[in-house]
């Protein structure tokens, strides 16, 4: 195996959350928890780097910092009237211009990393809360089955 090849091991898990209700305080606390997890993931990602042959200490430190900086958590909020908010700060839920009703709230930490480096980080997450409601009379769905919200599969 050449020195430029890498082997990645990944665990991908998709779980459905049972019906429940959330308030703004839940999402603020959830943001804090995920932000702490993301900081640990960024540290693990930068520590997993190995020095390239002939790379100076300064260049290696810069590359580690860049990797760590690319592991940013984003909060994406989609309003029910087509509004869209994206933020990397935890104060996004305190913004007075947020829509009063939300279709989807997404937390993820890999898009910057993937965009700039063209590979997925070793440690990443995507948590999606879908608040859309299915049509009342949809004859394509078996009425005895649980109500399905839209789901995204992220490989």
pTM: 0.74
Answer whether residue 31 is part of any domain. yes
Of the two residues 92 and 60, the one the predictor is more confident about is 60
Answer whether residue 36 is part of any domain. yes
At residue 101 the predicted structure's pLDDT band, cuts being 50, 70 and 90, is confident
Q: How many domains does the chain have?
A: 1
Answer whether residue 146 is part of any domain. no
Answer whether residue 17 is part of any domain. no
Answer whether residue 96 is part of any domain. yes
pLDDT of residue 155: 37
Q: Is 42 exposed, middle or buried (0-12, 13-18, 19+ CB in 10 A)?
A: buried
Say whether 130 sits in a helix, a strand or coil: strand
């Amino acid at each position: 195996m050449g020195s430029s090849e890498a082997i990645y091991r990944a665990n991908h898990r998709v779980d459905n959350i049972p019906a429940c209700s959330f308030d703004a305080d839940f999402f603020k606390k959830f943001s804090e928890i995920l932000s702490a997890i993301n900081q640990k993931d960024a540290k693990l990602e930068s520590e997993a780097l190995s020095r390239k042959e002939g790379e100076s200490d300064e260049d290696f430190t810069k590359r580690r910092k860049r990797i760590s900086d690319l592991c940013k958590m984003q909060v994406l909020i989609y309003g029910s009237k087509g509004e869209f908010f994206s933020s990397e700060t935890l104060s996004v839920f305190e913004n007075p211009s947020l829509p009063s009703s939300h279709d989807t709230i997404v937390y993820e930490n890999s898009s910057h990393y993937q965009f700039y480096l063209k590979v997925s980080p070793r440690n990443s997450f995507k948590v999606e809360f879908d608040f859309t409601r299915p049509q009342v009379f949809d004859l394509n769905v078996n009425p005895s089955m649980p109500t399905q919200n839209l789901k995204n599969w992220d490989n």
